[in-house]
Structure 1
Amino acid sequence: MSMDNNINNAQVAESAGSTSEKPLLEVHGVTRSFGLGTETVEILHGIDLKIYAGEMVAIIGQSGSGKSTLMNILGCLDKPTTGEYYIEGRKTSDLDSDELAGLRRDYFGFIFQRYHLLGHLNATGNVEIPAIYAGIKSDKRVDRANDLLKRLGLEERKEHLPSELSGGQQQRVSIARALMNGGQVILADEPTGALDSHSGEEVMKILKDLNASGHTVILVTHDPKIAANAGRIIEIKDGEIIADYKNDKVSLERHQLAEEDRVVLKAGFILQMRAYVDRFREAFKMAFIAMISHKMRTLLTMLGIIIGIMAVVSVVALGKGASNKVVSDINSIGTNTISVFPGKDFGDIRSGKIETLTVQDMKVLEQQVFTDAITPNRQSSLLTQYHDISANAKVAGVSEQFFRVKGYEIANGHLFTKQDVDSLAQVAVIDENTRKRFFAYENPIGKTLMVGKVPCVVIGVLKASDSPFDSQDSLNIYIPYTSAMSRIVNEKYLGSMTIRVKDNVPNAVAQEAIEHVLTLRHGTKDFFTNSSDTILKTITSTTDTFTYLISAIAVISLIVGGIGVMNIMLVSVTERTKEIGIRMAVGARQSDILQQFLIEAVLVCLIGGGCGVICSYGIGVVFGMFVQSIKMEFSVTSIIAAVVCSSLIGMLFGYLPAKNAAKLNPIDALARE
């Protein structure tokens, strides 16, 4: 820039305001450079400029002259490479991103050539946006938006989408949006460039009326006819101001902005942060609208989460069902049972010589408070005959309580009683295998089996058991233990005892009490105990391990779904870059953009998680049609865990795309088509 031009510009700037008046906007030595490959291109070269409150200034120049770049710096959409920019004496380089967002939201009002309206919001919704980010209550901002639209002649079009409005109507919506939070300084970039002449005249009239009411208006245009509406014209060429002069055809009288429309800048200026709940609700609403507007993309994003959650919930339900089946099988041999055997442990070669387990021991234990039922077991393998049919069978001498201890049920006939035990009755209860072997074609009740050398009348047949803990490949005959001890083995001691513990007594407590009682009676510990609770815990632990293993494999699909969410969200950020730029231009903070995209990711995952849970129930119904032995058991805990997992995945994998969106440069985002 020449020395003469510098002097001329300074004189014009002084004439624009009294020497005692401070400038509203002040630029000193501002340059702006952009990287172009390996080179750096400087668009603005040492710009000096002062603009005073109430002025209507036109910045005119050809395309590529740097006028839009200068306007972007004035509106805090961009930052100078070097030099300083002051707003009411405050240096903008000292402001953080939220403070700059606050300026764009309340201090400046932007009117763009291409309107930059959000297509999925109606006219009122577009005008409201700056007020949403300012935390203004819903009813107040709706009233304010409708009032502005009414003043601009759009009262009948406030419910229409941008695609349903003409170019002139869209520009008026853009103007209303610029005024929503006050718009003390109106920045209009080629405001009539995309309009016909009639609409252009209407827009210019509105801008002049705004200036007359006290708004500072800065026009950027290449059209001298548009610039002629301003009281001050600044010409820029090749990044330098070549002229700055008064327009004698326009009055330079400057009006004061109404006090209620003024925004007072203070140190640490950050616009109001009230109504957090309201802002969150609006972010939620905007995220939901964005999802509805792109149904297919949203569905594809959810698909990975649906499959992952469905797999995890189904596997856990299947694992729980299998575990419950095993537990049920264990319970079928007696719930909370404790067996007592002679010797130190299984396989003790001296156990056959120990004869200290007696009927009296059983009777003492039967009187204990923890005992629900008790039975001895004196077992032998004997040749059994019926007519011309013979086979080896396991013959067990038991008490009448044996069937309760083991959980066996009668299918035909009846069980023997305490009276049968006391009278050494020669009666027998047989299992289904024995019935098939000896009585395949007749009713066994009342028939006599020759058990060894002892005839026994069959009085009952047990229901078939599918428990893996019952002998499925042997013939089992149960007779009173008194009969077995006196008529078959001719011994006075018991082979073992099994105690069923009452449900309200911990198994470990009962086991300790049994050992204490028998040790006192025998004077030594010549026996050992074995608890079904130990078996139950071992098997439960095993099934849980397999469930965790399979769940871990299923979680892999959930992670893959999460990566899919991240990828789709990254694509979404790219597709919606311009929308992000618009929101930032009207005052959205980085945290607002981050919040919106994060809410969107979490919503996608939550809805996907819910669909996954529903699908897993569907799988459970289909599974039950084909598999009868195991039932899928769905738990509230696994469903809650799935929902929490969905939310965490949304937050985890949605954070990076949301952060990328929040860090976009507003001017770069606006330039993206």
Structure 2
Amino acid sequence: MAEALLKLVGVTRSFTAGDQALTVLKEVNFQINRGEMIAIIGASGSGKSTLMNILGCLDKPNKGSYFINGQDTSTMGEDDLAALRREYFGFIFQRYHLLGDLTALENVEVPALYANEGPHERQEKATRLLTRLGLSDRLDHKPGQLSGGQQQRVSVARALVNGGDVILADEPTGALDSRSGEEMMELLRELHADGHTIILVTHDPQVAAFADRIIEIKDGEIIADKQTRPESKINELNSAKKNTEQKKPNETFRIGYTRYIEALKMALIAMANHRLRTFLTMLGIIIGIASVVSVVALGNGSQQTILDNISSMGTNTIEIKPGTGRGDRRSGRVRSLTAEDANALKILPFVDSVTPTVRANVAIRYASETVTGSVQGVGTEYFRVRGYSLAQGQYFNEQSVDSLEQVAVIDANTKQELFSDGEALGRVIFLGKLPVRIIGVTEPIESVSDNSDELNIWVPYTTVSGRIFRQNYVSDITVRIDENVSSEVAEQGIISLLTMRHGVVDFFTINTDTIRKSIAKTSNTMTLLISAIAFISLLVGGIGVMNIMLVSVTERTREIGIRMAVGARQADIMRQFLIEAMLVCFLGGALGVGLAYLIGIVFHYTSSDLLMIYSTSSIIAAFACSTLIGVLFGFLPARSASKLNPVDALSRD
């Protein structure tokens, strides 16, 4: 005698109701052979639906054993039970249980998807089944666009797509009109004739009359088990014994790739059908990412602007003065610095520009007016060293220096003080007794070394040395350093060269780059502080994602139950929700970066003082951070979804 297809031995199922246990099935014993068409009948509350759930591996008994082809299901894990639901059973639910976001064709494909079939095979098989059931013109219709009878036929096609050796039909005509109900029963008889084992769960005697065998249940106990037709059409379904676990080695990658691609598609469909919820989920991530990227860009821009400004004020310079230090009383009598030292320093590779300086304390006269100001004899590169730019005229050149030419460049303060009519070029002023002609006027500048209110007049250093003082030494030398070179390294190079030239250290240096570093450090600290605040907002956004995803799991409990009923593994459910959370965060990150760029455009056109410099590394870090948030905060909802009980999930609306 052939082994029973399904066999229940002493099966008991009870549920906890408050402090009491409600027993729904009591010591149930029976078996079902392959190829039978059986009706399980009983009044509402008799336990027939619970019995169907146990037969379909949607539920487990508290006591007793349930065997499928001789294998005890109590020894199987959740994924093994899912494989049975996927490969062995086909469910036809009274309420259809179709996924509202998918078309009829996509609904039928779902079990085949979890059975790792390729997209073309799935589509071809689903199309063939729906065509056979008279729905060839409804393939692209969603459940809401189908009648009750059409939805039930889609449910039948879904039950058959993986073979459906055992068809479990729960009140198959309960939600249909009489004509559709008759068509459904005829369809089930055809499936039985094709060799499928059919198990009907119904309270309708007319439906039960279609079966070859009727099992009656009352108060959780089998009270009758009678054969209504001779066992003449019981077939052995060798095809039921599938070996789905044997995969070709080259199929492993395809299966894994397909699972992730399909999970991504499902996530996109779910997001597209719940746009508002998706956007609200993304909102916290969008704001957080936009804040981080914008703050970093604004910090970079502000720092660059400040550094450019202070560079123009001569803060990346090193001043060389005679003596051994600021407190050296002998420094005024040390006369070792010369213009030749300045020329020697120009050959150093890290030097941008060099100027010697000779200062003169003389009266400045124009016409009948005498003023006090700063007269400096400088080299041609002085204006580059100090970051000055011309407003009018020109600078003096090397020829002017070599010929001790009596020409001068004045600043805006001097022009305003001496020339009220605004014309300065070509005028002659007296530096003490020395007449000089004005050839240039500089733009106003804020300098860390010069008083912004002081009157400044610059002439060739040779003119001051030769025509006023008649000396061959200079007061000091100022060197501007290339911005890409460490100021400490440059300072040591300068000291080494001058020490070698003088044979003794009779000078000292003042490195003004410390101001630049201090400002840069302060700017970085502020950027870090504000970025930390922005990151907190990103973290809050991640918590929002988790909360809304948890709500989403609750809202989509029925969908999860349907997917589990048709064979989804726990990993499949977890993968779908995890990818959805990651996708929400990734898209939120992209929109956040886009918003940050939009903020930059707004700043560009509305404010000339704010500069935003976007950092590629910060954008990459923002994307990585948003994706990581999707993984971290999506894990709990995804795990919660995968741990749902299929029966409980299906019973929720």
Match of 1:307 among 282, 287, 304: 287
What SS does structure 1 have at the residue aligned with 2:109? Answer: helix
The one-letter amino acid of 1:493's match is Y
**Displacement of 1:456 after TM fit?**
2.6
Contact kept, 8 Å, 2:319 with 2:511, in 1: the verdict is yes
Task: Look up the match of 2:242.
Answer: 263
Task: Look up the match of 1:327.
Answer: 307
Task: Look up the match of 2:213.
Answer: 232
Task: Look up the match of 2:435.
Answer: 455
Match of 1:166 among 147, 151, 158: 147
Task: Look up the match of 2:270.
Answer: 290
Match of 2:296 among 316, 332, 335: 316
Task: Look up the match of 2:261.
Answer: 281
Match of 2:20 among 39, 48, 59: 39
Instruction: Name the CA distance, whole Å, in 1 between partners of 2:323 and 2:67.
Output: 96
**Displacement of 1:620 after TM fit?**
1.6
Unaligned runs of 5+ residues in structure 2 are none
**Displacement of 1:411 after TM fit?**
2.0
Match of 1:480 among 460, 479, 491: 460
Instruction: Name the CA distance, whole Å, in 2 between partners of 1:42 and 1:452.
Output: 117
**Displacement of 1:293 after TM fit?**
0.9
**Displacement of 1:577 after TM fit?**
0.7
Contact kept, 8 Å, 1:446 with 1:459, in 2: the verdict is yes
> 1:295–1:39: structure 2 CA closer, same or farther, 3 Å change rule?
same
Contact kept, 8 Å, 2:603 with 2:610, in 1: the verdict is no
Instruction: Name the CA distance, whole Å, in 2 between partners of 1:449 and 1:63.
Output: 115
Contact kept, 8 Å, 1:283 with 1:595, in 2: the verdict is yes
**Displacement of 1:195 after TM fit?**
1.0
Instruction: Name the CA distance, whole Å, in 2 between partners of 1:469 and 1:189.
Output: 91
Instruction: Name the CA distance, whole Å, in 1 between partners of 2:459 and 2:475.
Output: 15
**Displacement of 1:319 after TM fit?**
0.8
Contact kept, 8 Å, 1:214 with 1:258, in 2: the verdict is no
What SS does structure 2 have at the residue aligned with 1:573? Answer: helix
**Displacement of 1:383 after TM fit?**
4.2
Higher mean displacement: 635-644 or 60-69:
635-644
Instruction: Name the CA distance, whole Å, in 2 between partners of 1:629 and 1:23.
Output: 84
Contact kept, 8 Å, 1:188 with 1:218, in 2: the verdict is yes
Per-residue CA distance 1:72-98 (angstroms, 9 max, x = gap)? 111111122222222212222222222
Contact kept, 8 Å, 2:313 with 2:445, in 1: the verdict is no
Contact kept, 8 Å, 2:315 with 2:515, in 1: the verdict is no
Instruction: Name the CA distance, whole Å, in 1 between partners of 2:57 and 2:287.
Output: 45
The one-letter amino acid of 1:171's match is Q
> 1:216–1:343: structure 2 CA closer, same or farther, 3 Å change rule?
farther
> 1:389–1:669: structure 2 CA closer, same or farther, 3 Å change rule?
farther
What SS does structure 2 have at the residue aligned with 1:255? Answer: coil
> 1:444–1:106: structure 2 CA closer, same or farther, 3 Å change rule?
same
**Displacement of 1:554 after TM fit?**
1.5
Match of 1:179 among 149, 160, 163: 160
Task: Look up the match of 1:65.
Answer: 46
Per-residue CA distance 1:602-621 (angstroms, 9 max, x = gap)? 22222222222222222222
Instruction: Name the CA distance, whole Å, in 1 between partners of 2:339 and 2:246.
Output: 95
Structure 1 position 441 matched with structure 2 position 454: no
Instruction: Name the CA distance, whole Å, in 2 between partners of 1:344 and 1:575.
Output: 80
> 1:583–1:255: structure 2 CA closer, same or farther, 3 Å change rule?
same
Higher mean displacement: 289-298 or 523-532:
523-532
Match of 1:529 among 502, 506, 509: 509
**Displacement of 1:349 after TM fit?**
5.3
Structure 1 position 209 matched with structure 2 position 190: yes
> 1:267–1:528: structure 2 CA closer, same or farther, 3 Å change rule?
same
**Displacement of 1:286 after TM fit?**
1.1
Instruction: Name the CA distance, whole Å, in 2 between partners of 1:289 and 1:345.
Output: 75
Task: Look up the match of 2:100.
Answer: 119
Unaligned runs of 5+ residues in structure 1 are 1-19
Task: Look up the match of 1:12.
Answer: none
Per-residue CA distance 1:524-557 (angstroms, 9 max, x = gap)? 3333334455544433222111111111111222
Instruction: Name the CA distance, whole Å, in 1 between partners of 2:634 and 2:120.
Output: 32
Instruction: Name the CA distance, whole Å, in 2 between partners of 1:452 and 1:593.
Output: 92
Instruction: Name the CA distance, whole Å, in 2 between partners of 1:553 and 1:505.
Output: 33
Match of 1:432 among 412, 419, 427: 412
Contact kept, 8 Å, 2:316 with 2:516, in 1: the verdict is no
Contact kept, 8 Å, 1:329 with 1:468, in 2: the verdict is no
**Displacement of 1:471 after TM fit?**
3.9
Instruction: Name the CA distance, whole Å, in 2 between partners of 1:266 and 1:91.
Output: 19
Task: Look up the match of 2:35.
Answer: 54
Per-residue CA distance 1:90-129 (angstroms, 9 max, x = gap)? 2222222222211111111111000000111111010000
> 1:329–1:470: structure 2 CA closer, same or farther, 3 Å change rule?
farther
Task: Look up the match of 2:90.
Answer: 109
What SS does structure 1 have at the residue aligned with 2:22? Answer: strand
The one-letter amino acid of 1:231's match is D
Structure 1 position 142 matched with structure 2 position 115: no
Task: Look up the match of 1:97.
Answer: 78
Per-residue CA distance 1:229-249 (angstroms, 9 max, x = gap)? 21121111111112222124x
The one-letter amino acid of 1:216's match is T
Instruction: Name the CA distance, whole Å, in 1 between partners of 2:569 and 2:190.
Output: 30
TM-score by length of 1: 0.91
State percent identity of aligned pairs.
Answer: 55
Instruction: Name the CA distance, whole Å, in 2 between partners of 1:111 and 1:530.
Output: 88
What SS does structure 2 have at the residue aligned with 1:22? Answer: coil
The one-letter amino acid of 1:375's match is T
Contact kept, 8 Å, 1:26 with 1:50, in 2: the verdict is yes
**Displacement of 1:567 after TM fit?**
1.6
> 1:105–1:528: structure 2 CA closer, same or farther, 3 Å change rule?
farther
Q: How does 1:68-83 map to 2 (within 5 A)?
A: 68-83=49-64
Aligned-residue CA RMSD (Å): 2.5
**Displacement of 1:507 after TM fit?**
4.9
The one-letter amino acid of 1:189's match is D
Match of 2:176 among 169, 188, 195: 195
Structure 1 position 630 matched with structure 2 position 598: no
What SS does structure 2 have at the residue aligned with 1:275? Answer: helix
Instruction: Name the CA distance, whole Å, in 1 between partners of 2:413 and 2:274.
Output: 65
Per-residue CA distance 1:561-615 (angstroms, 9 max, x = gap)? 2222112111111111101111111111111111111222222222222222222
Contact kept, 8 Å, 2:322 with 2:475, in 1: the verdict is yes
**Displacement of 1:193 after TM fit?**
1.0
What SS does structure 1 have at the residue aligned with 2:372? Answer: strand
> 1:347–1:553: structure 2 CA closer, same or farther, 3 Å change rule?
farther
Instruction: Name the CA distance, whole Å, in 2 between partners of 1:315 and 1:177.
Output: 52
Contact kept, 8 Å, 2:267 with 2:579, in 1: the verdict is yes
> 1:448–1:114: structure 2 CA closer, same or farther, 3 Å change rule?
same
**Displacement of 1:288 after TM fit?**
1.0
Higher mean displacement: 280-289 or 142-151:
280-289
Higher mean displacement: 520-529 or 213-222:
520-529
> 1:544–1:369: structure 2 CA closer, same or farther, 3 Å change rule?
closer
Instruction: Name the CA distance, whole Å, in 2 between partners of 1:598 and 1:507.
Output: 51
Structure 1 position 156 matched with structure 2 position 137: yes
> 1:618–1:215: structure 2 CA closer, same or farther, 3 Å change rule?
same
Structure 1 position 26 matched with structure 2 position 14: no
Contact kept, 8 Å, 1:58 with 1:227, in 2: the verdict is yes
The one-letter amino acid of 2:580's match is E
Task: Look up the match of 1:366.
Answer: 346
What SS does structure 2 have at the residue aligned with 1:628? Answer: coil
Higher mean displacement: 313-322 or 330-339:
330-339
Match of 1:600 among 580, 586, 611: 580
Contact kept, 8 Å, 2:366 with 2:418, in 1: the verdict is yes
